[in-house]
Structure 1
Amino acid sequence: MLNKNTLSTLCQGAVDASIEAGQLIQSQVDQPHDLQDKQGGYSKASQVVTEVDYQAQEIILKHLRPGSSQYDLGLLTEEAADDRSRLHTDYFWCIDPLDGTLPFTEQRSGYAVSIALVSQSGDPVIGVVYLPDEELCYSAIRGEGIALNGQPFRLDRSSDDRLLHVYMDRSMQSADCFTAFIEQMKQWAKAENYQEVVYHVGFGAVRNALAVLSHANACYVKFPRPQQGGGSIWDFAATRLIYEELGVPVSNSKGEKLRLNTPETTFMHQQGVLYATTDRIAEMVLEIKV
């Protein structure tokens, strides 16, 4: 087990790494980028990579290598092959150096840097997310709450907004379940006296999860599907801890813990994903039949 002081030191290293990588990313946002193909899931977003992804990854690894060596930490990072050290070490770094490559190359909001330290059992103990275009850094240590740019962060529960905000990936719109999902959301929102359901599409997974927290009533949904993909462990590790520390719902599509270290695959298509601002919204989504 890593003690409190060690976790604090490792977390600060991840914060520094995320900020330096994010500053590099933001400095390149208005430049032309060659989109390279890579082995990914079913969506275009999971199949593209740029030179900036690799540069950001190297910056992050530079910061994390000393602690990784000292504490024998494994590594899982998006732009490198899974060496499966995550299955043999007590903890592993789980890194997405540039989540939301598509919005980044399209020069619009929706990208982020995500770093988590995850136990072999699949539970994150450190979670760091940096939003380069907003210069915001969220950091969490299990049991220690959330910091935003180094200051304590809590949800603003004062809004009486009666809109229901739903975040989803672009690929959701072409899924077989999409029509049924939209209709059931409409019926439920009407029964709960929401004024309207507002759909948000186009962010990366990390930014989707954090954007939910900016509303009083919101969720981010991904349903299981047979095609390989559905995001990967690194898309959800840091934000899972942020949600758990805030005490708001995060689960797979069965209401169980998001499994973040399955031996068979790093993909999440078999699980589905649910982030929500309230238990009531989470319960509603879990009841949807698609």
Structure 2
Amino acid sequence: MMLSEKELKSLCQTAATAATVAGQYIQSRFDKHYTRRHKETGHSLASQVVTEIDVKAQEIILEHLNSTIQNYDLGLLTEEAADDQSRLDKPYFWCIDPLDGTLPFTEKRTGYAVSIALIANSGDPVIGVVYVPDLAYCYTSFKGAGVWLNGSPFVREKAAVNDSICIYSDRALQHETYFEPVNDRLNEWARHKNAQIKYHSGFGSVRNALGVMTSGTGCCFKLPKETKGGGSIWDFAATRLFFEELDLHVSDARGGRLHLNDEKSTFMNEVGVIYATGSGLAEFIQGII
């Protein structure tokens, strides 16, 4: 089954509505009391913390998407439910992160978002939707349609001469064994460009990618490692499509296609991820590896 442009557009609109309603609910709970617990996944606090808000937001999203799952025979992969492997059997599957950046949300700071994508069985996204609750920004895209922000075409800002090189990361980056040598090489590279490195730390993976996408010159990356983590499929599904539609760099850590349907695991630690505004910066990071 191959979805038509008309079907993709309709499904994208449904996903945008789902993300918006869930995001508005999330923001309404920002200053309220809610339960918080830890789940057994990944090796960082950011990957382990979960709240009742995550679960309710996922329920809201599925209320909007369940009919499409039945009508189009779609699979499903969500952060707050077990992987039922339907993503491996169906032509397409919804990939949902109801609250990416739960840690910054619980710490009452910016950095969180709702992410919904429709991914082909091949591991390539065909629909991407991200809603940023604290800004009321809704980014949408379906394959070949470009990227839209709140119903208008999204236009990237141009990099200025001697612009800062923005590195977006979670807090875990500075504790990785590779951080110091990578940081030294990045600063050396920036000096040759008469620029400086500027770190933006503490966001979730989705907001990190959006930070790069909206910066003049920037990148975010996760290098391969043995321990489980490095983000999961749902962390990169929607934003991979955004970057492709904007002709920006998105790949695994070695420059290959960022495959989003590995049958062995939903974690990305074995392959790593690179987002960058230009191929030169991405190739430099690959060279460090």
Structure 2 length normalisation: TM-score? 0.98
Q: Note the C-alpha offset of 1:32.
A: 2.8
Does 2:227 match 1:227?
Answer: yes
Q: Deviations over 1:109-163 (max 9, x none)?
A: 0000000000000000000000000000000000111111111112122633521
Q: Secondary structure at the match of 2:66?
A: helix
Q: CA RMSD in A?
A: 1.0
How far apart in 2 are the matches of 1:131 and 1:274?
A: 22
Residue 186 of structure 1: CA displacement? Answer: 1.1
1:237 aligns with 2:237: yes
Q: 1:76 & 1:214 partners in 2: Cα distance?
A: 28
Q: 1:19 to 1:161 in 2, by over 3 A?
A: farther
Q: In the alignment, is the contact (CA less than 8 A) between 1:154 and 1:246 conserved in 2?
A: no
2:159–2:217 contact (8 Å) kept in structure 1: no
* AA at the equivalent of 1:61: L
* C-alpha distance in 1 between matches for 2:162 and 2:29: 36
Q: CA deviation at 1:214?
A: 2.2
- Unmatched 5+ residue regions in structure 1? none
Cα distance between partner residues in 2 of 1:240 and 1:77: 17
- More divergent stretch after superposition (123-132 vs 148-157): 148-157
Pairing 1:148–2:149 present:
yes
Q: Secondary structure at the match of 1:67?
A: helix
The equivalent residue for 2:87 is 86
Deviation at 1:187, TM superposition (A): 1.0
1:170 corresponds in structure 2 to: 171
Partners of 1:32 and 1:222 in 2: CA distance: 33
Q: Which moves more between the two structures, 71-80 or 164-173?
A: 164-173
Between the two proteins, what is the percent identity of the paired residues?
Answer: 52
Amino acid at match of 1:101: T
Aligned to 2:46: 45
How many pairs were matched up? Answer: 288
- Between stretches 131-140 and 159-168, larger displacement belongs to 159-168
Equivalent AA in structure 1 for residue 5 of structure 2: K
Question: Counterpart in 2 of 1:248?
Answer: 248
1:26-69: CA deviation from partner (whole Å, max 9, x where unpaired): 00011233221112111110001000000000000000011110
Which residue of the partner structure matches residue 4 of structure 1?
5
Deviation at 1:210, TM superposition (A): 0.2
Classify the secondary structure of the residue corresponding to 1:108. Answer: coil
Correspondence 1:258 to 2:275? no
AA at the equivalent of 1:76: L
Deviation string 1:176-219 (CA, Å, 9 cap, x unpaired) is: 1011111111111112221x211111000000000112221100
CA contact (8 A) 1:85 1:92 kept: yes
**8 A Cα contact 2:162 2:193, kept in partner:** no
CA distance in 2, matches of 1:201, 1:154: 24
Looking at structure 2, the residues matched to 57 and 288 of structure 1 have their Cα atoms a distance apart, in angstroms, of 38
Q: Please name the residue that 1:108 is paired with.
A: 109
AA aligned to 2:7 is T
Matched residue, 2:33: 32
Contact 2:251 2:258 in 1 (8 A): yes
CA distance in 1 between partners of 2:284 and 2:144 (Å): 28
Unaligned runs of 5+ in 2: none
SS at match of 1:114: strand
Over 3 Å off, 4+ runs: 158-161
1:120 aligned partner:
121
- Code of the aligned partner of 1:147: W
- In the alignment, the residues of structure 2 paired with residue 33 and residue 181 of structure 1 have an alpha-carbon distance, to the nearest angstrom, of 39
CA deviations 1:246-266 (Å, max 9, x no partner) are: 000001100011110000000
CA distance in 1, matches of 2:122, 2:13: 23
- Which residue number in structure 2 is paired with residue 269 of structure 1? 269
CA distance in 2, matches of 1:254, 1:205: 19
Q: 1:85 to 1:181 in 2, by over 3 A?
A: same
User: 3-state SS of the aligned residue for 1:12?
Assistant: helix
- Give 1:130's aligned residue: 131
